[in-house]
Amino acid sequence: MNTLTIRLDPKLEKALDRLARSTGKSKSEIARDALKREVAVTRFRELRKTALPFAEAQGLITDEDVFRVVS
């Protein structure tokens, strides 16, 4: 496993310390989970941006349109 060093402002560090204590997780585990979520959300947004023109060309504008086709 690799190591990443980050700088936190005092307020964020204090919040991270409290969260670690209250959840029983390490600060590293919390940071890894947050980074995994951020990477996943960013990737989803990129894919959505790429797919959106194709969906719109098929008349799929809303979530309901997609659900109607998929169900």
Give residue-wise pLDDT tens across range 33-61: 999 999 999 999 999 999 999 989 999 99
Is the pLDDT score of 63 beyond 90?
A: no
pTM of the model: 0.73
Nearest to 58 by CA among 47, 70, 46, 71: 70
- Which carries the bigger pLDDT value, residue 66 or residue 41? 41
Is the pLDDT score of 10 beyond 90?
A: yes
Domain spans of the chain, in order of start? 29-71
**Per-residue pLDDT, 66:** 86
